[in-house]
Chains A and B, each alone.
Chain A
Amino acid sequence: DAGVIQSPRHEVTEMGQEVTLRCKPISGHDYLFWYRQTMMRGLELLIYFNNNVPIDDSGMPEDRFSAKMPNASFSTLKIQPSEPRDSAVYFCASKPGQGKGFNYGYTFGSGTRLTVV
């Protein structure tokens, strides 16, 4: 298995531009999570999906952030417009559903380092 695949690995963009981060979860995993890691706030959950449906988006910082999961093998996190304070590492993770190793921890992707200048 290729694991959770995120792209791009690095992204540098100018303030005000739209940024789209992509994630391909492990095949067969029912849960997908987006986390953000910063020095100030550590690792914080932004949103998670179960069977492509958003379950908890309480961590999405503001309306500039949106996440979609159009099918079981793909998710995007979009920031529009981007701001310097959005600079962080964004992780995607996935987890099996009930009866498929459900109680194990997540499998994380390698993250996208976003720099907004």
Chain B
Amino acid sequence: AQTVTQSQPEMSVQEAETVTLSCTYDTSESDYYLFWYKQPPSRQMILVIRQEAYKQQNATENRFSVNFQKAAKSFSLKISDSQLGDAAMYFCAYRTLFGNEKLTFGTGTRLTIIP
């Protein structure tokens, strides 16, 4: 079974600085999807960015980018120019390419933005 590990329960960053959140996963599959979700205090789960394992290019969405290292099974999220609205729990998630549509989540990293 696939597992997703987020080893940083909490992180903090100064406003306007850059922060990187770590995620590793374990799978025997060669093709899959990886996601980062944001959960602000409102509780809503919001998709931040996704990566297809068969694509070598790292995904980017505005200030959010990933560093996908397939061999190392690592999928980190970089937030540039951090803003107060980025404060939230961030969850890394895995989904197989074929078959079960289940998302397997990590335990999350709480990100605090320091003004």
Contact = CB atoms under 8 A, between A and B. Distances in A.
Interface of A: 31, 33, 42-45, 48, 50, 55-56, 89, 91, 93, 95, 103-108, 110-111, 113
Contacts, number: 52
DSSP class of A's interface residues: helix, strand, loop or mixed?
strand
Interface residues of B, number: 22
Contacts of A111: 43-45
Given A43-B91, A105-B35, A56 B43 contact: no
Contacts of A42: 105-108
Given A43-B105, A106-B103, 12 more contacts: A31-B101, A33-B101, A33-B103, A42-B108, A44-B105, A50-B101, A56-B100, A105-B103, A106-B47, A107-B47, A108-B37, A110-B44
B50 A55 contact: no
Interface of B: 33, 35, 37, 42-47, 50, 52, 91, 93, 95, 100-103, 105-108
Contacts of B35: 105
Most chain B beta-carbon neighbours within 10 Å: one of A33, A45, A89: A45
A104 B47 contact: yes
